[in-house]
């Protein structure tokens, strides 16, 4: 049997946001590999083995997926959101490169998913409607000085910003420092949005300003967005739309 | 009858990338509104009126959608890719703001889609696997000087970059200037990727370097990506994966 490997995105949580091609890949797989809570989103069935592993086990998990593919399995590596945005696709290609060029003959595909950033943006309105950037605030794999440099340059470029991994249990102080940098360069009244567990029953949305924002508004399941200088609110009964207009001067 | 308005993303082209919630909205709609080629992606059926309009008619189209919603229609505004990334969602909220606060009582939802950026990234590997930005290169709605400033700052921040609207018929020279700026700040050997009409039968992918890139490699259906200083190729028989590792120093 010829094996294949599909690195797929399950979207932010709701079944209704899983693309048909990802559902088809899961229906045809012999093995599903990923971080425990994501693997658990795939319903068990006869003929499917679910391999859940811990967070920060990305490279070992990628090696396991490559080995099973070489052994003839039909393997799906699952990420939440999109696999190419701070998720398993980069880890898989790092492991593929380290494995040597023989391994590149494997049948590998990446199937995109609705990223947390796009789902959060849709719930809030259109905060990413103009130029934006997407930064990982975790300093696990890069120095804090680089994160701070990128925050300052992104603000100088007047981009809207989406932040992944704003606050980890291991480094709770980082996000507070990020907020301080942002207040300095964007001013106190700039909109900031906290979108937690979007599209799940635990979903919460909060729209505020940098001077009112506190580090505890984010946890590991929160996508944080900061508007550009052009970002606007439209209040309505029961909430507010946030959007960034298409034009800038 | 109570009307509603859903601003949805049809994904990059393939049916298999349209989310179930978007398909359900289309199945329940009385009216579909959008740019002609996107409206034509929705199959005609009894009870559904398709309102196709020209490019650059975004605000008039948004006003029409709001009016039909107020009149009790079930209206879907369609964009290609994701509606929140250089598409109809921002235009809709601009029109909503201009219409006055009474209009904000309408039942409005944004449903995300697989953006061209995520689809192209998946086809190529994981070029957006680390921090990145997403810029619209069209100078229709912003001055060229701002585009050039953002290119320089994004390069200084060492972000991977995704570019929408790299080259319009009206302003073919802009993309050539962008390439020149990028060569200056990123050096000649930086990877650049051209992904055209991803997931459609016309799909083409090209991976090259800034010194080999020419403006005619992009047209209006091309998503262009530039790697960061860390972006790597993995050549295999018949192609190359492009990915940006998760770590940086």
Q: CB A241 to CB B96 under 8 A?
A: yes
Coil/strand/helix, residue B71: coil
A237 — pLDDT class (breaks 50, 70, 90): confident
Task: Please tell me the pTM assigned to this model.
Answer: 0.97
Distance CA B199, CA A17 (A): 18
B interface mutation test: which of A14, A18, A114 has the most B CBs within 10 A? A114
What average pLDDT does chain A have?
96
Q: Quick check: A171 pLDDT over 80?
A: no
Residue A44 pLDDT > 90: yes
How far apart are the C-alpha atoms of A223 and B124, rounded to whole Å? 25
Nearest to A122 among B112, B135, B246 (CB): B112
DSSP character string of B133-150: EEEE---SSS-HHHHHHH
The interface residues of chain B toward chain A in range 113-132, judged by CB-CB distance below 8 A, are 113-115, 118-119, 121-123, 125-132
Is the pLDDT assigned to residue B68 strictly greater than 90?
A: yes
Closest CA relative to residue A119, chosen from A35, A182, A205 = A205
Class in CATH terms, B117-243: alpha beta
CA distances from A15 to A9, A23, A36, A134, B141 (A): 12, 10, 18, 25, 37
Q: Identify the pLDDT of residue B78.
A: 98
What pLDDT is attached to residue B173?
A: 86
Of B90, B142, B232, the CB nearest to A97: B232
Cβ of A134 within 8 Å of Cβ of B136? The answer is: no
Residue B238 has a pLDDT of 83
Put simply, the answer to whether B133 touches A132 (Cβ < 8 Å) is: yes
Hey, are the CB atoms on B125 and A15 less than 8 Å from each other?
no
State the average pLDDT over residues A76-91. Answer: 98
Q: Are A220 and A168 in contact (CB under 8 A)?
A: yes
Report the candidate in B13, B11, B10 with the shortest Cα–Cα distance to residue B201.
B13
Tokens of B193: 């990727």
Classify burial at B249, counting beta carbons within 10 Å of its beta carbon; exposed 0-12, middle 13-18, buried 19 or more.
Answer: exposed
Per-residue pLDDT of B85-112, as tens digits, reads 999 999 999 999 999 999 999 999 999 9
Shortest distance, CA B15 to any CA of chain A (angstroms): 8
Q: A residues 222-241 near B, CB within 8 Å?
A: 232, 234-237, 241
CA distance A35 to B232: 25
The DSSP H or E segment spanning A225 is strand A222-226
Helix axis angle for B58-70 and B88-99, nearest 10°, is 60
Cβ distance of A130 and B20 shorter than 8 Å: no
Q: Identify from A150, A155, A228 which residue to disrupt to test chain B contact, counting B C-beta atoms within 10 A and taking the largest count.
A: A150
Q: How confident is the model at residue B55 (pLDDT cuts 50, 70, 90)?
A: confident
Q: Which of A26, A96, A122 to mutate to test the interface with B (most CBs of B within 10 A)?
A: A122
Percentage, residues of chain A above pLDDT 70:
100
Chain A's closest residue to B237, CA to CA, is A105
- For residues B2 and A234, what is the distance between their CA atoms, to the nearest angstrom? 22
- Quote the percentage of chain B above a pLDDT of 90: 93
- Give residue A172's pLDDT: 76
In chain B, how many H helices and how many E strands? 7, 13
A76: closest CA of chain B, how far (Å): 14
In this predicted structure, what is the pLDDT of residue A56?
Answer: 83
Q: Which site among A11, A134, A223 would you substitute to test the B interface, given the most B Cβ atoms closer than 10 Å to its Cβ?
A: A134
Give the span between the Cα atoms of B92 and B83, in whole angstroms.
Answer: 10
Mean pLDDT of A89-104: 97
| Interfacial A residues in 166-225 facing B (CB < 8 Å) | none
pLDDT score at A168: 72
Chain A residues touching B92 at Cβ < 8 A: 126
What are the two backbone dihedrals, phi and then psi, of residue A49, each rounded to the nearest 5 degrees?
-105, 130
Average per-residue pLDDT for chain B: 96
Task: Tell which A residues from 17 to 46 touch B, by Cβ distance under 8 Å.
Answer: 17-21, 24
Tell how many helices (H) and how many strands (E) occur in chain A: 7, 13
Q: Could you tell me which chain B residue has the CA closest to the CA of A110?
A: B122
| Cβ(B51)–Cβ(B31) below 8 Å | yes
Helices (H), A157-204: 173-186
Residue A62 neighbours by CB distance under 10 Å: 25
Rounded to whole angstroms, how far apart are CA atoms B121 and B240?
13
Label residue B168 by pLDDT band (50, 70, 90): confident
pLDDT given at position A125: 98
Q: Which residues of B touch A146 (CB under 8 A)?
A: 248-249
ipTM above 0.85? yes
Taking the C-alpha atoms of residue A247 and residue B142, their distance in angstroms, rounded to an integer, is: 6
CA A142 – CA A131 distance, rounded (Å)? 24
- How large is the average pLDDT for residues A118-125? 98
Task: Say which residues have a Cβ less than 8 Å from residue A131's Cβ, sequence separation at least 6.
Answer: A157, A158, A159, A160, A228, A248, B133, B134, B135, B136, B150
Q: Tell me the domain boundaries of chain A.
A: 4-114, 117-243
A84 touches chain B (CB under 8 A): yes
Task: Say what the pLDDT of residue B212 is.
Answer: 98
Strand order from edge to edge, sheet including A132-136: A204-209, A191-196, A222-226, A160-164, A132-136, B132-136, B160-164, B222-226, B191-196, B204-209
**What mean pLDDT do residues A88-111 have?**
97
φ, ψ of residue B117 in degrees (nearest 5): -60, -45
**What's domain B4-114's architecture?**
3-Layer(aba) Sandwich (3.40)
The conformation of residue B2, written as its DSSP 8-state character, comes to: -
Q: What is the pLDDT of residues A57-81, one digit of tens each?
A: 999 999 999 999 999 999 999 999 9
Q: What is the mean pLDDT of residues A25-35?
A: 98
DSSP single-letter state for residue A52: E
Mean predicted confidence (pLDDT) in A102-108: 96
> Residues A7-34, buried b or exposed e (16+ Cβ, 10 A)?
bbbbbbbbebbbbebbeebbeebbbbbb
Work out the minimum CA distance from A51 to partner chain B, whole angstroms: 23
Structure tokens at A104: 């590149």
Nearest to A23 by CA among A35, A11, A34: A11
- Partner-chain residue, chosen from B90, B131, B150, that has the shortest CB–CB distance to A245: B90
Q: In this predicted structure, what is the pLDDT of residue B47? A: 97
pLDDT at B171 over 80: no
> Minimal Cα distance from A231: which residue of B?
B90
pLDDT digits (tens, 9 = 90+) for B5-46: 999 999 999 999 999 999 999 999 999 999 999 999 999 999
């Amino acid at each position: 049997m010829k094996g294949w490997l599909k690195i797929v995105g399950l979207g932010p949580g709701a079944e209704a946001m899983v693309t048909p091609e990802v559902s088809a890949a899961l229906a045809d797989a012999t093995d599903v590999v990923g971080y425990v809570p994501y693997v658990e989103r795939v319903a068990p069935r006869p003929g499917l083995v679910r391999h859940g592993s811990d967070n920060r086990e990305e490279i070992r998990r990628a090696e396991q997926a490559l080995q099973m593919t070489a052994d003839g399995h039909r393997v799906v590596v699952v990420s939440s959101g999109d696999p190419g945005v701070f998720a398993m696709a980069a880890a898989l290609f790092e492991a593929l490169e380290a494995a040597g060029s023989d391994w590149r003959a494997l049948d590998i595909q990446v199937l995109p998913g609705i990223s947390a950033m796009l789902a959060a943006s849709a719930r809030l309105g259109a905060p990413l409607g103009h130029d934006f950037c997407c930064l990982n605030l975790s300093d696990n794999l890069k120095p804090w000085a680089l994160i701070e440099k990128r925050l300052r340059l992104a603000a100088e470029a007047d981009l809207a910003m989406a932040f992944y991994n704003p606050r980890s249990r291991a480094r709770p102080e980082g996000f507070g420092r990020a907020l301080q940098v942002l207040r300095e360069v964007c001013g106190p009244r700039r909109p900031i949005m906290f979108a937690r567990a979007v599209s799940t029953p635990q979903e919460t949305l909060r729209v505020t300003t940098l001077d009112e924002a506190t580090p505890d508004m984010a946890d590991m399941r929160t996508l944080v967005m900061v508007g550009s200088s052009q970002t606007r609110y439209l209040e309505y009964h029961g909430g507010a739309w946030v959007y960034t207009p298409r034009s800038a001067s």
